[in-house]
Amino acid sequence: MSGGEALTPGTGAAPPKVLGIFALAMINVAAVLSIRNFPSMAEFGWSCIGWYTIGTVLFLIPLSLAGAELATMLADRGGGVYAWCKEAFGEKGGFTAIFCEWSNNLVWFPTVLAFIASTLSFALSPALSADSRYLFAVMMIAFWGTTAIAYFGEDISTKFQNVGVILGSILPSVLIIGLGIWWFASGATIVLPPFSPEQILPVINLSTLPFFATVILLFAGMEMAGFHALETRNPGADYPRAMAVSALIIFGCTVLATLAIAAVIPARDLSLASGVMQAIHYFFGAAEIPGAVAPMAVLVTIGGVVSLAAWLIGPAKGLGVVAEEGNLPPLFNRTNRYGSPVAVLLVQALIGTFVSLLYVFLPSVNQAYWILSAITVELLCIVYLLVFASLIKLRYSRPDAARPFRVPGGMAGVWIIGGMGAAGVIFSFIVGLMPTADFSADEAIAYVGGILLGTFLLAFPPLVFLKIKRPGWTGAGSLEEESR
Amino acid sequence: MTGEKRGFAAVIAVLFVIVILPVGWILIAFPAEPHYPVPGEPVDNAVNASGVMLAHVNDITWQIPGAMGGRSYLLEDEEGHTLVVQTQVFETAESRDAAVVTYSAHTVGKGRPIGRIMVIGHQVVYIGPDPGGIFQRIAPLLREMRIAG
């Protein structure tokens, strides 16, 4: 991916406006809708509705509304959360937000890549999922392949995501829902207990607090379309509609598909230790179409890849804007002829490859994986706290700015939406530091220390870069060196 | 190498370090679990000692490579809360570790996986969603068995 002569400094040349409502909505759906959530949540039976409602009220709706207002207000700026938080809190706030959004991926990529590889093994040979070399090979093909798609710019990656999200996320969800309806209509045994309203209510106590925090961030990624503001044809009108469309698709598919699985598979047989494809295997076996498992594995794999693509491309674009503005050394400010931030993509791919190597080839480090997941959550909490705070702050610091979409309810509405979202992520951040019962007292100290250290190290570099920033970095790029 | 390229290399090195430091530290603090035969059924012992009621138990084999069978327990506390715990023996450390990777890859959204797993010798113990806090009661004994190994 050298393309030396194609490299230009990121001078901010206007990218082609290729995105409409559908494409924007699909970016969010790709980032958020995941089949692997369904069997996990199905373990909760009817109360999954209550848990999903909590995630929707405390996060999905606030983030969708905040994103719609901020993206339409700052539609002429690239960088998504970077532009939003920078407008409210200056460069430190904006850079910290986008860096956390980017750096949490570095520890999360191996997770989604391992999911892709283990799911694909069901279409090839399930025994492969225990072969580290197979896992790593597929992970790298998916990772570098997706990076290559990102290299070819918005037009190609949008087409890839549009097709991929329909095939890999929406179609499998619809299939599961359809089978659930067929199961119900055929008079087969429904393993869910008879419905009653109180069964929807989730049990919230000290034991379920960690899960409560997980649910709040269940819909993380709804801001992803905001990274593509400059490529949007009519952001003022299209962005809020895209947010609404994506929120409806995500909520509808998630709730209905989860209930379909919960109705067919007894909770006792839903072992998450053996993965989502086991649940799908059971599901299609019960429906007497076991031959559908392999094609379904391919579809779910595609869904994993488009989710990876959404998270890989969006934050990298945001960090590319940071480099364009001179907050990173000039060599990071490399944009190719397709408008992609190639230097950021390359650095991201190299680090992701290294972390994936550790993830696959190190022997069983169960608790280490758990801590890395916690670090991902903590970094995301920082991002979303800054986004919700920006929504509130900008209503005071830029009261007269044109806002094609406004959070309804005036200042009270903004405080309610921003306040609920902020309270949810602060709560998630705190709960993320609480070790589970399998950690001993000594291990608990190492657990908290590991999370705090990891979160700090992955969040603080913007402050260092801003400290060592030089005037020559702004708009410098590396064209001169490349032409020599 | 020009000064600019040196700067680029330095920044990449810094980025690697900010990833390596926490990951390395975590890996040192939480080393790999040894693979050894565990006598008896750890969950049986923990449940008996904790006073939690065993409502149902059956044999189960996870459909993943290397899984040699185990048990599925349905535990119940005095208030009627239930907890599903499953155990599975793995014939090799590699297949056991692959199961751990599979579980860890099944996060909900960008968060954590549902439930929890513990590795005790050649066994993987899966603990399902726990609304009643039953895991808190059996965890100390399971933890002792893990650390003793």
CB contact B135 to A (< 8 Å): yes
Structure tokens at A108: 């999360």
Contact between residue A227 and residue A79 where contact means Cβ atoms under 8 Å apart: yes
Q: Per-residue pLDDT for A226 more than 50?
A: yes
Report the pLDDT value the prediction gives residue A390, as an integer from 0 to 100: 97
Which residue range forms the structural domain that includes residue A185? 13-467
Nearest beta carbon to residue A369 from set B35, B104, B108: B104
- Chain B residues inside the 8 Å CB shell of A359: 101
Q: How many CB atoms lie within 10 A of CB B14?
A: 13
The Cα–Cα gap between B35 and B96 comes to 8
CB contact B114 to A (< 8 Å): yes
Rounded to a whole number of angstroms, the distance between the first and last alpha carbons of chain B is 52
The 3-state DSSP class for residue B113 equals strand
Structure tokens at B110: 């960008």
The Cα–Cα gap between A210 and A374 comes to 10
Structure tokens at B90: 């793995």
The 3-state DSSP class for residue A408 equals coil
Report the pLDDT value the prediction gives residue A272, as an integer from 0 to 100: 62
- Read off the pLDDT band of A5 (50, 70, 90): very low
* Pairwise CB contact (< 8 Å): A118 & B95: no
* Pairwise CB contact (< 8 Å): A328 & B25: no
Report CA A239 to chain centroid distance, whole Å.
18
The 3-state DSSP class for residue B75 equals strand
- Chain A residues inside the 8 Å CB shell of B23: 107, 355, 358, 368, 372, 454
- Read off the pLDDT band of A10 (50, 70, 90): very low
Report the pLDDT value the prediction gives residue A482, as an integer from 0 to 100: 39
Return the H-helix or E-strand segment holding B72: strand B70-76
Question: Is A4 a domain residue?
Answer: no
Contact between residue A126 and residue A274 where contact means Cβ atoms under 8 Å apart: no
Report the pLDDT value the prediction gives residue A14, as an integer from 0 to 100: 61
Mean pLDDT of A84-105: 95
Domain boundaries, chain B: 1-31, 42-148
* Nearest of A325, A467, A385, A417 to residue A93 by alpha carbon: A385
The total number of structural domains that make up chain A: 1
* Nearest of B66, B61, B92, B117 to residue A128 by alpha carbon: B66
A39 to chain B nearest CA, in Å? 10
Structure tokens at A44: 């909760």
Contact between residue A271 and residue B126 where contact means Cβ atoms under 8 Å apart: yes
Angle ∠(A230,A234,A235) on CA atoms, nearest 5? 60
Proportion of chain A above pLDDT 90, given as a percent: 51
- What phi and psi values does residue B27 have, to the nearest 5 degrees? -65, -35
Q: Per-residue pLDDT for A32 more than 80?
A: yes
* Pairwise CB contact (< 8 Å): B119 & A364: yes
The 3-state DSSP class for residue B116 equals strand
Question: Which residues have CB under 8 Å from A248's CB, separation 6+?
Answer: none
Structure tokens at A439: 């950690």
The Cα–Cα gap between B21 and A368 comes to 13
Handedness of CA A392, A394, A400, A401 (dihedral sign): negative
Return the H-helix or E-strand segment holding B71: strand B70-76
The Cα–Cα gap between A249 and B6 comes to 48
Nearest beta carbon to residue A437 from set B19, B21, B139: B139
Higher pLDDT, residue A6 or B20: B20
> What are the counts of helices (DSSP H) followed by strands (DSSP E) for chain A?
18, 2
Q: Per-residue pLDDT for A64 more than 50?
A: yes
Nearest beta carbon to residue A330 from set B4, B19, B23: B4
* Pairwise CB contact (< 8 Å): B67 & A112: no
- Chain B residues inside the 8 Å CB shell of A41: 108, 114
CB contact B103 to A (< 8 Å): yes
Which fold does the domain B42-148 belong to in CATH?
Phosphorylase Kinase; domain 1 (3.30.200)
A122: left (phi over 0), alpha (psi -120 to 50) or beta: alpha
What per-residue string of b and e applies to A200-229 under the rule 16 or more CB within 10 Å gives b?
bebbeeebbebbbbbbbbbbbbbbbbbbbb
Contact between residue A476 and residue A325 where contact means Cβ atoms under 8 Å apart: no
* Pairwise CB contact (< 8 Å): A278 & B63: yes
Nearest beta carbon to residue B139 from set A118, A438, A481: A438
Report the pLDDT value the prediction gives residue A287, as an integer from 0 to 100: 80
Q: Tell which of B54, B59, B106 to mutate to test the A interface (max A CBs under 10 Å).
A: B106
Interface contacts (A, B; CB < 8 Å): 274
Nearest beta carbon to residue A217 from set B64, B96, B109: B109
Q: Tell which of A40, A271, A305, A353 to mutate to test the B interface (max B CBs under 10 Å).
A: A271
Q: pLDDT tens across A368-411, in order?
A: 888 888 999 999 999 999 999 999 999 999 999 999 999 999 99
* Pairwise CB contact (< 8 Å): B112 & A210: yes
Q: Is B51 exposed, middle or buried (0-12, 13-18, 19+ CB in 10 A)?
A: exposed
Q: Per-residue pLDDT for A273 more than 60?
A: no
Q: pLDDT tens across A124-167, in order?
A: 998 898 888 999 999 999 999 999 999 998 888 888 988 999 99
Positions of chain B with pLDDT under 50: none
Q: Give the nearest chain A residue to B33 (CA atoms).
A: A364
Residue that is written with structure tokens 């550790």 in the block: A358
Q: Tell which of B101, B122, B141, B144 to mutate to test the A interface (max A CBs under 10 Å).
A: B101
| Alpha carbon distances (Å) from A167 to A26, A175, A279, A297 | 12, 11, 19, 11
Q: Is B69 exposed, middle or buried (0-12, 13-18, 19+ CB in 10 A)?
A: exposed
Q: Which amino acid is at B30?
A: F
Question: Is A288 a domain residue?
Answer: yes
| Alpha carbon distances (Å) from A115 to A112, A174, A249 | 5, 21, 23
Mean pLDDT of A177-196: 89
Question: Is A335 a domain residue?
Answer: yes
Report the pLDDT value the prediction gives residue A481, as an integer from 0 to 100: 38
- Read off the pLDDT band of A480 (50, 70, 90): very low
Report the pLDDT value the prediction gives residue A134, as an integer from 0 to 100: 94
CB contact B55 to A (< 8 Å): no
HSE-CB for A250 with a 13 A CA cutoff = 30
Q: Tell which of A104, A222, A365, A448 to mutate to test the B interface (max B CBs under 10 Å).
A: A365
CATH number of the domain encompassing residue A71: 1.20.1740.10
- Going along A156-278, which residue ranges are E strands? none
Q: Tell which of A274, A319, A440 to mutate to test the B interface (max B CBs under 10 Å).
A: A274
Residues 1-40 of B with CB under 8 A from A: 2, 4-5, 7-8, 11-12, 14-16, 18-19, 21-23, 25-27, 29-33, 35
B40: left (phi over 0), alpha (psi -120 to 50) or beta: left
Report the pLDDT value the prediction gives residue A333, as an integer from 0 to 100: 84
Q: Per-residue pLDDT for A216 more than 60?
A: yes
What per-residue string of b and e applies to A375-398 under the rule 16 or more CB within 10 Å gives b?
bbbbbbbbbbbbbbbbbbbbbeee
The Cα–Cα gap between B118 and B124 comes to 6
